[in-house]
Amino acid sequence: MSVDLELVQRVQAGDKKAFDVLILKYQQRIVHVITGFVHDPVEALDVAQEAFIKAYRAIPNFRGDSAFYTWLYRIAINTAKNHLTARARRPPAMDVDAMDATNFYDAPELKEFETPESSLMSDELEQAIHRAIQDLPEDTATAIQLREFDGMSYEEIAQAMDCPIGTVRSRIFRARDAIDKQIQEIMGEGEQQ
């Protein structure tokens, strides 16, 4: 029996500390997955916490048909997507409060050390990559995120997505091709300016 399944059974039997162990084991990976959707790191932490709460509430229904991480991953993805949907419905907040602006010099992480051009190019590339991933079919986007953001092997992805390894390789190839095309468009525009 896997360690995860044993911990899940202990949680189902009422051992809350066993769930803490699962959180510690998977917290970084889940935050990383969510950051692929929710680009603000602070917001991503909040969404990850919400995902773990949902997992804790749903764990009595976990049957072990898939690996625990696969089950948790799906909850995290759905929580991130729901968060983005809810956020799109909210009216925009005020950008900067005058009092916050006076504290700018007290926050060294807000000071810019890059040139405006390099920062703009970096932002454009990041947006192009995220746009390319968002434009992909869901199974293809999931495969590339598991590979590139989570560092999972092709075998692990095949197991997590419940499909043959050849399908995983094909999806990742198509995703990388789409991302490359987006980057080439950005690079081509930069050269013309």
Tens-digit pLDDT profile for residues 110-125: 444 555 655 565 667 6
Measured CA to CA, the distance from residue 26 to residue 21 in angstroms comes to 9
Q: Is the dihedral of CA 15, 16, 21, 27 positive or negative?
A: positive
pLDDT greater than 60 at residue 105: no
Contact partners, residue 19, CB within 8 Å, separation at least 6 = 7, 11, 56, 59
Tens-digit pLDDT profile for residues 122-177: 667 677 777 888 888 988 888 888 888 777 888 888 888 889 988 999 898 888 88
Question: Can you give the pLDDT at residue 111?
Answer: 47
Measured CA to CA, the distance from residue 87 to residue 89 in angstroms comes to 5
Under DSSP, is residue 39 helix (H, G, I), strand (E, B) or coil?
coil
SS (H, E, C) 86-97: HHHHCCCCCCCC
Measured CA to CA, the distance from residue 136 to residue 148 in angstroms comes to 15
Tokens of 18: 């066993």
pLDDT greater than 80 at residue 182: no
Q: What is the CA angle 24-14-65, rounded to 5?
A: 70
- Nearest residue to 23 via CA among 1, 55, 47: 55
pLDDT band at 49 (very low <50, low <70, confident <90, very high): very high
pTM as predicted: 0.51
Domains of the chain: 1-90 (1.10.1740.10), 114-193 (1.10.10.10)
Tens-digit pLDDT profile for residues 63-97: 888 889 989 999 999 999 899 888 877 665 545 45
